[in-house]
Structure 1
Amino acid sequence: MAAGRTRRRLGLLLVAATIAGTDLGLKAWATTALDGRPIEGGPVNLQLAFNPGVAFSLAANAPGWIVLAVTGLITAGVAVALWRTAPAGRLLWGVALAAVLGGAAANLIDRAADGVVTDYLHTGWWPTFNLADVFIVCGGLLIVVLSWHADHPRPANEMHDR
């Protein structure tokens, strides 16, 4: 029983680490390959940008250490939620948390180096973003959907009234 819990936790952490590693690799590539040389690719172009804030450049003017500390605390909170819910929770819930954790960790690691997050996906009608952002948003949306369809326990008095 304990081995199964550990295996699921480690598996979901591996998913998060793979997401983070992939995004960090793409950010390293983008920093060298796209510097002053955007690549047009249809609806999504590759274009280098740096964001000192969080989503949609919110808090871009805040001191860097505050942005780093707050995003670090949020990332740690997601990691704790994943660790605590992984053994007994639905696998899809764990995958959603792993996606958010992987994306958040990648952006946190990227920000720690110089106070900005490297973005490289550009649509022209939406702020420039990165793969980590995609995983954070998709994982968050999946959490919302799963929350709507969760089995909610009935209060004890309601169950006895039947």
Structure 2
Amino acid sequence: MSTEQSPQEQSSAEQADAGSTAAERAPETQPEAADESPRDGSRKLLALLGGVAVVALGIDIVTKIAVVANLEGHAPVRLLGGVLYLDVLRNPGAAFSLATGMTWLLALLAIAVVGVIIWLAPKLRSPGWAVGLGLVLGGACGNLVDRIFRAPGPLQGHVVDFLSVFAPGGAIWPVFNVADSCIVCGGILVVLLSLMGRDYDGTVHRKKKAVAS
């Protein structure tokens, strides 16, 4: 019996070999496509974190400039029926007028916080963490700008506070600013995400249900 193949059979065999070769090569390109998705996601989260931080910082700087120019040295302004007062104070301490007299240490601490967030940013895989850390970053930078550029000097500048709730002068709650609010809101968001088992790298930890015996 002859084992020679007709031209049509040879053509079919060549096409089958080409198809199998293409199928073998296809998986080699999959990791490259898979690698692009996390990178794109990381870029988007970095943009989200940076955008939130820039907006928070911008609002903080603009509001401080406005209240210093128009309200400093004047009587407190009553808003929302007495729920909020605009009362400009210079704060040498931390948020809510804590740690007064340790301005230089607080400035260095703020620089350290900014550095940690910048180091952590490329590892983010969670939009919630990106928003939370963006708020903390913007708030920390807002108060840091005051400590560096305002009187009495670099790393000793007094932070401008101007928001007082329910009574002027911080009689009920310490006077604060937009940066303080951003730091607190961002910190609360990060803590809530942690309690829910959602890590900054996108990992979700679910509690194991107890197996009844």
TM superposition score category, shorter chain reference:
0.7 to 0.9
Q: Partners of 2:41 and 2:127 in 1: how far apart? A: 13
Rounded to whole Å, the distance in 1 between the matches of 2:61 and 2:134 is 16
Whole-angstrom distance in 1 between the partners of 2:176 and 2:97: 10
- 1:158 maps to none
Q: CA deviation at 1:25?
A: 0.5
Match of 1:118 among 137, 160, 171: 160
Task: Provide Cα deviations, 1:68-110, integer angstroms capped at 9, x if missing partner.
Answer: 11221122212322x1333x2x211111111111111111112
- Residue aligned with 1:122, SS: strand
Q: 2-side partners of 1:126 and 1:85: how far apart?
A: 37
* Corresponding residue pairs, total: 150
Kept in 1: contact 2:48–2:131 (CA 8 A): no
Aligned to 1:130: 177
Whether 2:126 is the aligned partner of 1:97: answer: no
Is 2:122 aligned against 1:84?
yes
Q: 1:68 aligns with which of 93, 107, 118?
A: 107
AA aligned opposite 2:187: G
Q: Secondary structure of the residue that 1:126 maps to in structure 2?
A: coil
Shift of 1:153: 7.2
For the 8 Å contact 2:139–2:178, the answer to whether it is kept is yes
CA drift at 1:35: 1.1
Q: Alpha-carbon deviations, 1:138-162, whole Å to 9, x = none?
A: 11111111111112279xxxxxxxx
Greater Cα offset, 8-17 or 43-52? 8-17
Note the C-alpha offset of 1:36. Answer: 1.9
Deviation track 1:39-70 (CA, whole Å, cap 9, x = no partner) reads: 111211111011111123333122x4322112
The answer to whether the 8 A contact 2:114-2:140 is kept is yes
Q: Quote the Cα distance in structure 2 between the aligned partners of 1:116 and 1:65.
A: 10
Range 97-106 or range 50-59, more displaced:
50-59
* 1:157 aligned residue: none
Seq. identity, %: 35
Match in the other structure for 2:67: 30
Segments of structure 1 that go 5 or more residues without pairing to the other structure are 155-162
Q: Distance in 1 between matches of 2:51 and 2:96?
A: 28
Whether 2:55 is the aligned partner of 1:18: answer yes
Distance 1:84 1:5, change over 3 A: closer
Q: CA RMSD in A?
A: 1.8
Q: TM-score, normalised by structure 2?
A: 0.65
Q: Does residue 108 of the first structure (1) align with residue 144 of the second (2)? A: yes
* Counterpart for residue 159 of structure 1: none
Q: State which of 12, 18, 40 in structure 1 corresponds to 2:78.
A: 40
Gaps of 5+ in 2: 1-35, 151-156, 198-203, 208-213
